[in-house]
Amino acid sequence: MEELLDKDLVAKHFQSCVGTYEENAIVQKEISNQLFSLLRRFDCIDYSRVLEIGCCTGLLTEMVCSENTVNSLWVNDIIADFCNTTSSRIKNSVADLYLLPGDIEEVNLPKELTLVLSSATFQWMNNLSLLTEKIRNSLKTGGHLAFSMFGPGTMEEISSLTGRGLPYLSEERLLLCLEKYLHVIHIHKERKRIYFPTVRAVLRHIQKTGVGGLSKQRWSLSGLKDFEKLYVSRFGTDLGVPVSYISTFVIAEKR
């Protein structure tokens, strides 16, 4: 039996970066832009009743609301402060706006939704199959689930050196979770690599975006220096030291 993620620890890490997330979430911004661009290619998507899971600071929310008529919008995040930030950002763009803070695997979802959105959040779920069933039950027939999530290979540089990382779902397992309840009409995967001048800059990036949400590690000075040397020797390039992110983009439909 797989060990469940410690959602309290995940929430603690994200709560600590409320004030630094948006400035440092380089990859997350790109992924939100890509997901939004993907959504634009599907004229069948109805934006009248939308739930966003993991709204964070409202980057994707603002893009969606700027180009579409959203009558009712529910914004969810495990961190209530992020729901409040998103609400302030788009409150003049939506007729009816509702905050839905909490763990999406635990909270009750609104009914008759036309679209459920999520960017870079589903890798934090303990049971994506059960969540997909829950989403299906909340969607209208003809409604859509559109999301991106990180997958195997994300932050592989760090996990290969520390032996720690999220239990990312393979594409095969992801499809098994989805296809029992929804019809997948689009799926593709992309790899991004961002570079930092030093290993400590990598660690600051992780800290300020909350993406190391399962780590309880406290570095000793000697341990940190050893980690830095090993990271540079194994992964260093002329561009700096890299961090890899593998993202999967999905659009699925309730039929």
Residue-wise pLDDT for 29-49, tens only, equals 999 999 999 999 999 999 999
**What would the pLDDT profile of 64-79 be if each residue is shown by its tens digit?**
999 999 999 999 999 9
How far is it, in rounded angstroms, from Cα 123 to Cα 150?
Answer: 6
Residue 240 pLDDT level (bands cut at 50, 70, 90)? very high
Contacts 24+ apart (CB under 8 A), 238-241: 239/195, 240/195, 240/196, 240/197, 240/198, 241/157, 241/195, 241/196, 241/197, 241/198, 241/199, 241/201, 241/202
**What would the pLDDT profile of 127-165 be if each residue is shown by its tens digit?**
999 999 999 999 999 999 999 999 999 999 999 998 888
Q: Tokens 């830095």 sit at which residue?
A: 228
Kindly state the average pLDDT of the residues 113-118.
98
Alpha helices in the chain (DSSP H): 7-15, 21-24, 26-40, 59-67, 80-90, 128-138, 156-162, 171-179, 199-209, 221-235
Residue 96, pLDDT > 50, answer yes
Instruction: Say if CB 179 and CB 133 are below 8 A apart.
Output: no
Kindly state the average pLDDT of the residues 97-117.
98
How far is it, in rounded angstroms, from Cα 234 to Cα 245?
Answer: 18
Residue 1, pLDDT > 50, answer no
Percent of all residues in the chain with a pLDDT value above 70, rounded to a whole number: 96
How far is it, in rounded angstroms, from Cα 64 to Cα 41?
Answer: 13
Across the chain, mean pLDDT equals 92
- What pTM did the predictor assign? 0.92
* Cβ neighbours, 10 Å, residue 197: 10
125 φ/ψ angles, rounded to the nearest 5 degrees: -85, 145
Please, what are the domains in the chain? 7-253 (3.40.50.150)
Percent of all residues in the chain with a pLDDT value above 90, rounded to a whole number: 78
Q: Tokens in use for 202? A: 């990598």
Alpha helices in 180-220 (DSSP H): 199-209
